[in-house]
Amino acid sequence: MQNDLKKEQKAGRFGEFGGQYIPETLMHEIDRLVKAYNYYKNDPTFKKELTDLLHKYANRPSLLYHAQRMSKDLGGAQIYFKREDLNHTGSHKINNVLGQILLAKKMKKTRVIAETGAGQHGVATATVAALMGMKCEIFMGEVDTKRQSLNVYRMRLLGAKVHSVTTGTGTLKDAVNAAMQEWASRTEDTHYVIGSVMGPHPFPTMVRDFQACISAEIKKQLINETGKLPDAIVACVGGGSNAIGAFYHFIKDKDVRLIGCEAAGKGVDTEKHAATLERGTTGIFHGMKSIFLQNDDGQIDEVYSISAGLDYPGIGPEHAELAAQNRAEYVGITDDEAVEAFEYLAREEGIIAAIESCHAVAYVKKLAPQMSTDQIIVCNLSGRGDKDVAAIARYRGEKIYD
Amino acid sequence: MTNISNAFKNKKAFIGFVVACDPNFEKSIDYVKTLADAGTDVIEIGVPFSDPIADGPVIQEAGLRAFKNGVSTKRVFEMVAKIREKTTVPLVLLVYLNNIFKYGYDKFFSACQQLNINGVIIPDLPVEERSEVAVFAKKADCSLIPLVAPTSGNRIKKIVAGTDGFVYAVSSLGVTGARDRITTDLDTMVSNIKRFTDAPIAVGFGIHSPEQAVEIAKTADGVIVGSAIVKIIAQEGTHAEEKLIDYVSNMKKALKQPETNRI
Ligand SMILES: Cc1ncc(COP(=O)(O)O)c(C=O)c1O
């Protein structure tokens, strides 16, 4: 029923959310992108090339791992981890980047640009640009270049130029602003590889489609192993790409709870958080109508999280709609809880996961004990944690320099 | 004839831009009056936004100064109320869509109507999304000024359909800010736009010198100057009157040259 309604909707709309709210200078290019994407997404050659890259270069399908020690320790639901951290470049970001850069190549682009928060999307973009022989420039907030300096060097090693963005808050939203400005000045040879399910149509839909392999695989793998669907899927949410990827093929399975974990930073009742769906209101920014953290005057808030990848004042429009329909739930996880989960997962399962992903792990720790042992939670481990080790050590007061 | 298109009658229009509350609330009111008295035909007032993705560094910094002075949408309307006590110059707000959305479309345009704000330029509202705003603007008799970019091509027809103020032809790709060289073929761009509308066409983005104005006014109906004016205010602070008058006079003189007015 809902899906019938959706079909009648304008392309790029999720309920009232989504749309194409960007300057006219970019609309011509956006029109081209919509056309190209609509064509290539059904093109057998494109699909085969992308699948080959995902399987042979990026290490897909990623494992679905039954975390037995953790399940036992928490004493409730069986916990499975979808191991996006084992992908080449260490996160889910590569799924989207391979799709977009392959598309850019078909559109005869020779240069790609991207924003990055934690650096994972920047690293994935720089990697695939190297693979496909494209020029690459990455925009990263100055604050983030400091807390993720290892990733900055990684990008440079891969041949990308990294711009440190000093305007505004010097974090992810400002990196997006800078990348959009750069794109507006140069679309002829350049594609902007947006790193999450955000921005103007077609990005939220296109990035979702490229990430949907996560839920397609989960479904197949879990049914193979257990014969069942999961009871809940838990994923962290920055812009929302790994979460929508993990949710997508379960949206119609109404009995599967979909839970997104936002960064509550120092607490949603403080000023230092990035819990968009818990504290945000409807607005129009970065090309989309969605939910944003903003003041009464429509000025976008400065947001905060220990995790550079979740430090974003908005959320993809499809999540805004899933929340409005109560189809998905969104919860806040504080810095402390995420760090605690980071350490717990390392000790309990021998997995050092990204601090972003550990926001999801932290919620699993709360949820699993409330469920029975024959129930299943799938938690999306969106990335690996090497990049965070030094920062977590400092958080714990150790004197380590990376 | 709207108040705005009147400003283009029998002449090439000079359109100037200031950021609200830069250098401060009172002074920015005075400067609008100064610009109007010096002959500026239409004045655009920029409503600062936290993330102005269409603006270059000069206007971004002006926005930051304005935030320090407590600018808000409400404050901009208070400012215009004071301006309206002093001048009837056509006024246009340059405002990002989120500011209007949060204020409430209906409430925002009602305020525009009350204050005789004649038009609104929304840099992040392409024609695809215009309808949600257009009903309110129309009801309030406020022109939605459409932007045409060098890349607009076959989009121009639908962009300029129904224009009742003027068409804003964006001279260059990228963001606002003075440029020494404009590489777009403006003649062709302006005549392409003219095929689809009778509304006057003003060219902006990067225009700062009288020479550029002369060149552009050969085909276009007006020029828009933003960053160059904002820069004067940045440099002169609360004592910018004289420089502003000089600047506007020079630009007006350039636009009055006979060759510019050949039809
Ligand atoms: C490992 C990891 N997980 C999650 C995110 C958040 O992005 P999204 O919500 O789009 O998945 C990032 C972003 O940098 C990331 O690096």
Domain count, chain B: 1
Q: Which stretch of DSSP H or E encloses residue B169? A: strand B167-170
3-state DSSP assignment of residue A66: strand
Report yes or no on A117 lying in a domain. Answer: yes
Question: Which range of residues forms the domain containing residue B213?
Answer: 3-261
User: Is the minimum CB–CB distance between A35 and chain B shorter than 8 Å?
Assistant: no
Region A209-230: what's the mean pLDDT? 98
Ligand 1 binding pocket, CB closer than 6 Å: A 91, 117-118, 120-121, 196, 236-243, 309-310, 354, 356-357, 382-383
Last residue of a domain, one of A184, A207, A230: A207
Task: Write down the pLDDT at residue A43.
Answer: 98
CATH number of domain containing B21 = 3.20.20.70
User: Does A218 lie in the same domain as A166?
Assistant: no
Q: What is the C-alpha separation between A170 and A161, in angstroms, rounded?
A: 17
Predicted local distance difference test score (pLDDT) of residue B175 = 80
- What confidence score (pLDDT) does residue A402 get? 53
d(CA B162, CA B145): 10
Are residues A284 and A227 part of one domain? yes
From the list B22, B55, B164, B215, the catalytic residue is B55
For position A291, what pLDDT does the model report?
98
Q: Give the Cα separation of B132 and A215 in Å (integer).
A: 35
- At residue A123, what is the residue type? V
In a domain, A10, yes or no: no
**Do both A146 and A180 map to the same domain?**
yes
Q: Domain boundary at A191, A207, A223, which? A: A207
Joined together, the tokens standing for residue B222 give 């007006």
Domain assignment of residue A400, yes or no: no
CATH of the domain at A197: 3.40.50.1100
CB within 8 Å: B151 and A180:
no
Check whether residue A44 and residue A74 sit in a common domain.
no
Are residues A283 and B98, on separate chains, in Cβ contact within 8 Å? Answer: yes
- The span from the CA of B42 to the CA of B36, in Å, is 8
A169 and A242 part of one domain: no
- Separation between Cα atoms, residue A243 and residue A250, nearest integer Å: 11
pLDDT surpasses 50 at A7: no
pLDDT value at A17 more than 80: yes
Overall average pLDDT of the A34-44 stretch:
98
Q: Poorest-confidence range of A33-42, A43-52, B182-191?
A: B182-191
Q: Which of A209, A243, A238, A226 is nearest to A64 (CA)?
A: A226
Q: Is residue A402 part of a domain?
A: no
In chain A, what residues touch B62 (CB-CB under 8 Å)?
none
Instruction: Judge whether A187 is closer than 8 Å to chain B, CB to CB.
Output: yes
Among residues of chain B, what percentage have pLDDT more than 70? 97
Say yes or no to pLDDT of B76 above 60: yes
Q: Which ligand 1 atom sits nearest the alpha carbon of residue A117? A: 14
Are A388 and A271 contained in the same domain?
Answer: yes
**Known catalytic residue: B44?**
yes
Mutate to test the pocket of ligand 1, among A81, A95, A97, A120 (most ligand atoms within 8 A of CB): A120
Residue A383 pairs in a beta bridge with: A91
Taking 60 as the threshold, does the pLDDT of residue B1 lie above it? Answer: no
A234 in Cβ contact with A244 (< 8 Å): no
Tell me, yes or no, whether A71 and A188 share the same domain.
no
* pTM of the predicted protein model: 0.96
A5: pLDDT confidence band, cut at 50, 70 and 90?
A: very low
Kindly state whether residues A301 and A197 are assigned to the same domain: no
Among A182, A207, A232, identify where a domain stops: A207
Total number of domains in chain A: 2
Once rounded to an integer, what is the mean pLDDT over residues B169-184?
81
Establish whether the linkage from the previous residue to A369 is cis, with ω within 30° of 0. no
ipTM of the complex: 0.95
Average pLDDT score over residue span B27-47:
98
Is residue A8 pLDDT above 60, yes or no? Answer: no
Contact (CB<8Å) A297/B99: yes
Among B98, B132, B189, the residue to mutate for chain A (most A Cβ within 10 A): B98
Residue B258's contacts (CB-CB under 8 Å, 6 or more residues apart) are none
Distances in Å between the Cα of A388 and the Cα atoms of A273, A306, B198 are 19, 10, 60
Q: What is the DSSP letter of A60?
A: P
For residues B107 and B134, the answer to whether their CB atoms sit within 8 Å is no
Backbone φ, ψ for residue A74 (5° rounding): -80, -20
Residue A295: per-residue pLDDT: 97
**Does A317 lie at the interface with B, CB-CB under 8 angstroms?**
no
CA atoms within 13 A on the CB side of B127: 20
Amino acid B259: pLDDT: 62
State the pLDDT confidence band at A3, using cuts at 50, 70 and 90: very low
Q: How far is CA B52 from CA A95, A153, A168, B178, in A?
A: 31, 30, 10, 17
**What does the pLDDT look like over A321-368, one tens digit per residue?**
999 999 999 999 999 999 999 999 999 999 999 999 999 999 999 999
> Which positions in chain B touch A297 (Cβ < 8 Å)?
72-74, 99, 102-103
Range of the domain at A20: 15-54+92-207
On the 0-12 / 13-18 / 19+ scale of CB atoms within 10 A, A227 is exposed
Residue A233 dihedral angles phi and psi, to the nearest 5°: -120, 130
